[in-house]
Chains A and B, each alone.
Chain A
C-alpha cells in the first residue's frame, strides 16, 4: 500500500504498510511485523495490535492531515506521518524552531511560587529560573541555554496556563 515516514518523539521510523483485510494492515518497521486491526470506526478509532504473539489495545485519532495521536498503555504519543515520496516534515520543524528561540514556556499549568532571576541577569544553561508549582509539586524551571534574561513575564504568585511564555533568554 505504501511506504511512510513516521516521526514520534523526534525519532523517525520507516514504515511499510500492506492491507491484508477489510480493516487489517500489516506494518513492517525495522524488520519487525505489526499486525494492526481497527475494529470500530468511532470518533477515536480502536486498534488491536499483534506483535510477537502479543496483543495490545490502542486508540488513535487524526485531527490533521499528517498528525496522528496514538494512545497506548496510558501513554499519549504524537506522530507525524508522511508518504516517503512527499518530502519533509513541516510541523516538526516548527517545534524545533520554537525550542531555540529562548522563550521559556510553562510545560504545565500552575502557579509561580518564586522567580529566581532578575531582568538583564546573565544565566548559564541549567541555572534555575523560577519555580512553578503544579499538583502540589515544586518544579524548578532551568535555563536551556546561557544568555541574558531579556524579559520576565510573570511575578511571584501568578497563575499561568500551559504554554504561556514565562521568561525570555537571549
Chain B
C-alpha cells in the first residue's frame, strides 16, 4: 500500500500497528512524549516526531499537535490505536478538515452511535434489545428516583459521554440514587467534559460477550464473539474467543443484532458491539466500541485475520476484501492482560524499571508487548505492559498453553498481575466455564493463597541463595541504572541521526 501513516499512540499497540504496516509496505511515523523517546515503537517506526511534553493532555491527547505532526511529516492518514484520541469526534473532524484519513469509523456513524444514548437509540430502532433504562439524559434527581422505581433496583448511573469503564455508579436504594446522582454528574463533568448522565438497570451476574465486526458503509461481517467476563472495576483482564456461554443459536442472534445495529448506523471500519447476557441467556445491548480493541488479539488467533490490515484496507482502499463465508473460527484463544499493578496492594499501580524481561514462546503463544530489559514503565499512562495470548485446538489446550507461558514469562523489577492469572487458570470454576462479570471479586481470596505459596517458595530460594555463598555482588544493577549523562548523550545522538 503506497501510503504513509502516523500512529497516534504508544506502547504495545503502536508496535502492533507498526508490524502490520511493515508487512504491507506502509511507511510509519511514530509520535512520542519526552519519556517515550527510547521506546520500541519509536525505534521501529520509519520516522519519529517529538510531541514535547509528558502528560497525555500535552502529548497523545493533543489534537493540534498530532494533526501538525501528520502534516509536517507528509502523512496520508492517522491510526489512533485504542484509548487516547481513538473515539474522539473532534479529532475525527480535525483529520477530515486537513484531508487526513482517520483509520476508524466515518463521521456519519459517529453521529449515530457517538455517545451512549445515541447508540442506544440507533440500536433500539434496529431492533436490538436494550437494558431497561432511560432514552434521554436525566433532568433531575426526582426523575432519576422515578425511573429507578419503574425499572427496579439495583440501577447504574452512567455518564452519557463516558468510556473505559469510568463514570459509573451502582445505586441500590432511593437513598443511594440521591447520593450518587450529583457525584456521578460531577465526575462526568470533570472526566468527560459533559455532565449528562443516564440510568440503566443493573443485571444480576451477567456475562460480558462482544462481537468483533468489520464494516464498510453498513456492509457488516462478524469475526465471531469474545468472552470478556473476567473483569475488575469494569476493566477487562482476561478475554477468550469463542465464549463457553454462547451456543450456535445465541451466536446467530448476536451476529444478527450486530449486523442490524451497525448496518443501521452505516458503520465503517472495525468495531465491536458489546452485550450483556443474563442468567436466562437473554442478551442486551451494552455499547459500541468504535475502535481497535485491546483484546482484538484473540479474534486474530481464532480467525487468522489481521484486523489492523483490514482496518487499513477499509480506510485507504474503501473496500472490505473479506466476505462472511471467508471467516472461519478455528480452535480457542485466551489472553491475559499483564498490568504493572501490585496484586498485594489492592492492584495499585507499580511503575518502575524492568531490569529483566524474557518473553515466553512456543506453539500457539503470542506476546504483544513493548517491554525490554532496562525499560522504564512511566507513571503517566496506562498500566498495561504486555498481553500474553495462547491459541489451542480447544479451550483446554489454550488454557494449558497460557499456563506454560505464565510460568515462562519473566518481568523482573515491578510487581504485575501475573499471580492473579496463575491462580485463575488453575481454578476449577474457571476451567469449567462457570463465571460471570462478578466472578473476579470473589476470586481475589484464592489469589492470596497463591501468593502465600509463592512466598514460601521465595523463602526456600532465599535460604539456598544464602547457603551457596556464590559471588552475589552483581553488575546488573549498575548496568541498568540510568545515568542521566549517558541518557542525554544517547538522546543527542538519536536526534542528530534523525
Q: Which single residue of chain B is at the shortest CB-CB distance from A72?
A: B454
| CB contacts between A and B, total, < 8 Å | 183
A4 touches B467 (CB 8 A): yes
The verdict on A164 contacting chain B, using a C-beta distance below 8 Å, is no
Partner of A76, one of B413, B417, B474: B413
B457 touches A108 (CB 8 A): no
B460 touches A110 (CB 8 A): no
Which residues from B are CB-within-8-Å of A139? 348-349
B348 touches A107 (CB 8 A): yes
How many chain B residues sit at the interface, stated as a range, is 35 or more
A63 touches B412 (CB 8 A): no
With known contacts A108-B350, A108-B379, A135-B349, A36–B456 Cβ distance under 8 A: no
Task: Give Cα A157–Cα B343 distance, bound, in whole angstroms.
Answer: 27
Which residues from B are CB-within-8-Å of A58? 457-458, 461
The verdict on B498 contacting chain A, using a C-beta distance below 8 Å, is no
B383 touches A137 (CB 8 A): yes
Task: Give Cα A95–Cα B395 distance, bound, in whole angstroms.
Answer: 46
The verdict on A131 contacting chain B, using a C-beta distance below 8 Å, is no
B408 touches A60 (CB 8 A): no
Chain B proximity mask over A15-30: 1 for CB below 8 Å, otherwise 0? 1010100010101011
Which residues from B are CB-within-8-Å of A72? 454, 457-458, 461
> Min CB distance, A147 to chain B, in Å?
23
How many chain A residues sit at the interface, stated as a range, is 35 or more
Which residues from B are CB-within-8-Å of A109? 351-352, 379
With known contacts A27-B460, A38-B470, A79-B458, A68–B351 Cβ distance under 8 A: no
Q: Is the interface of A mostly helix, strand, loop or mixed?
A: strand
The verdict on A62 contacting chain B, using a C-beta distance below 8 Å, is yes
B474 touches A6 (CB 8 A): no
Partner of A57, one of B356, B408, B474: B408
> Min CB distance, A104 to chain B, in Å?
15
A74 touches B460 (CB 8 A): no
Task: Give Cα A32–Cα B379 distance, bound, in whole angstroms.
Answer: 40
With known contacts A47-B464, A73-B406, A108–B348 Cβ distance under 8 A: yes
The verdict on B419 contacting chain A, using a C-beta distance below 8 Å, is yes
Chain A proximity mask over B449-478: 1 for CB below 8 Å, otherwise 0? 001001111111111111110111111110
Which residues from B are CB-within-8-Å of A57? 407-408, 410
A70 touches B356 (CB 8 A): no
Q: Which single residue of chain B is at the shortest CB-CB distance from A49?
A: B457
Task: Give Cα A27–Cα B343 distance, bound, in whole angstroms.
Answer: 27
Chain B proximity mask over A117-150: 1 for CB below 8 Å, otherwise 0? 0000000000000000011110100000000000
Partner of B468, one of A23, A44, A61, A75: A23
A residues 87-129 in Cβ contact with B at 8 Å: 107-110
Partner of B459, one of A6, A23, A45, A110: A6
The verdict on A158 contacting chain B, using a C-beta distance below 8 Å, is no
Partner of A13, one of B351, B459, B470: B459
The verdict on B409 contacting chain A, using a C-beta distance below 8 Å, is yes
Q: Which single residue of chain A is at the shortest CB-CB distance from B480?
A: A43
Which residues from A are CB-within-8-Å of B350? 108
Which residues from B are CB-within-8-Å of A73? 406-407, 418-419, 422, 454
> Min CB distance, A161 to chain B, in Å?
10
A25 touches B473 (CB 8 A): no
The verdict on B392 contacting chain A, using a C-beta distance below 8 Å, is no
The verdict on B381 contacting chain A, using a C-beta distance below 8 Å, is yes
Which residues from A are CB-within-8-Å of B415? 74-76
A137 touches B349 (CB 8 A): yes
A110 touches B461 (CB 8 A): no
The verdict on B345 contacting chain A, using a C-beta distance below 8 Å, is yes
With known contacts A72-B457, A107-B348, A8–B412 Cβ distance under 8 A: no
Task: Give Cα A136–Cα B464 distance, bound, in whole angstroms.
Answer: 40
With known contacts A38-B470, A74-B409, A25–B455 Cβ distance under 8 A: no
B466 touches A75 (CB 8 A): no
Partner of B348, one of A41, A60, A83, A137: A137
The verdict on B103 contacting chain A, using a C-beta distance below 8 Å, is no
Partner of A75, one of B383, B451, B472: B451
B472 touches A61 (CB 8 A): yes
The verdict on B18 contacting chain A, using a C-beta distance below 8 Å, is no
Task: Give Cα A57–Cα B406 distance, bound, in whole angstroms.
Answer: 11
A8 touches B455 (CB 8 A): yes
A49 touches B418 (CB 8 A): no
Which residues from A are CB-within-8-Å of B260? none
Task: Give Cα A47–Cα B411 distance, bound, in whole angstroms.
Answer: 15
Chain A proximity mask over B167-188: 1 for CB below 8 Å, otherwise 0? 0000000000000000000000
User: Which 5 pairs, one residue from A and one from B, show the smallest C-beta to C-beta distance?
Assistant: A74-B418, A79-B462, A62-B472, A15-B463, A43-B474
Can you offer 20 A-B residue contacts whose CB atoms are under 8 A?
Answer: A6-B462, A6-B463, A9-B344, A11-B455, A15-B460, A17-B466, A34-B457, A34-B460, A41-B471, A45-B465, A51-B460, A57-B410, A59-B356, A59-B412, A62-B466, A79-B459, A108-B349, A108-B379, A110-B379, A135-B379
Given contacts A1-B467, A134-B348, 20 further A-B contacts (CB under 8 A): A25-B467, A27-B461, A27-B464, A34-B464, A44-B412, A47-B461, A49-B460, A62-B466, A72-B457, A72-B461, A74-B415, A74-B418, A75-B416, A107-B348, A108-B349, A109-B351, A135-B381, A135-B382, A136-B381, A139-B349
